[in-house]
């Protein structure tokens, strides 16, 4: 279990590496006004062109992932962390590796680090499963909770991103 206590911190670290690419490239990418060729209900950065609002949203997510990691390390209860990690992996693969690049047919911020971080995230997940030994039912429950929680959180952030941006004016 001590090995897991160290590895769980890689999730928030890899998350921030990925999201830093998005934060750094968002303003440039939005200014170019890339056309979406295949229309999806998914708009990068919640449709905002304000990097500050997006950065606040990333910060909020990072705090949640750190809290889940701390809960796991302090209590030994890693279910929430496990579910959020799987949710992040699904997000990287589904949105940054498949849907958004195909939809825009162009580089999308976060695409490069999605490729670079998804493999270590999968390794961390495999290691966690080996150590924790969750049953299929436990995996299903925690993955569902992690994906639903992450999706709801992201929808709320995207809906309020422009209001968040006003906090830093």
What confidence tens digit (pLDDT) does each residue in 91-110 have? 999 999 999 899 888 888 89
Residue 166: per-residue pLDDT: 75
Residue 45: per-residue pLDDT: 64
Global pTM exceeds 0.85 = yes
Residue 104: per-residue pLDDT: 85
Q: Which residues of the chain have pLDDT under 70?
A: 1, 42-49, 169
| Pair of tokens at residue 64 | 């949640």
CA angle 17, 116, 45 (to 5 degrees): 55
Distance CA(124)–CA(14), nearest Å, equals: 11
Q: Which of 105, 82, 70, 96 is nearest to 154 (CA)?
A: 96
| Pair of tokens at residue 106 | 């162009």
Residue 47: per-residue pLDDT: 63
């Amino acid at each position: 279990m001590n090995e897991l206590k160290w590895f769980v911190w890689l999730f928030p670290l890899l998350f921030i590496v990925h999201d830093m690419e998005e934060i750094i490239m968002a303003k440039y990418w939005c200014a170019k006004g890339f056309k979406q060729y295949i229309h999806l209900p998914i708009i990068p950065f919640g449709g905002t062109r304000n990097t500050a609002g997006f950065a606040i949203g990333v910060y909020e997510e990072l705090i949640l992932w750190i809290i889940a990691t701390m809960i796991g390390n302090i209590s030994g209860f890693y279910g929430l962390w496990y579910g959020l990690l799987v949710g992040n992996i699904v997000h990287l693969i589904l949105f940054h590796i498949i849907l958004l690049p195909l939809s825009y047919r162009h580089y999308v911020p976060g695409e490069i680090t999605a490729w670079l971080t998804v493999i270590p995230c999968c390794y961390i997940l495999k290691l966690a499963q080996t150590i924790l030994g969750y049953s299929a039912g436990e995996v299903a429950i925690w993955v569902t909770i992690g994906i639903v929680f992450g999706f709801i959180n992201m929808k709320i952030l995207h809906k309020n991103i422009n209001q968040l941006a006003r906090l830093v004016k």
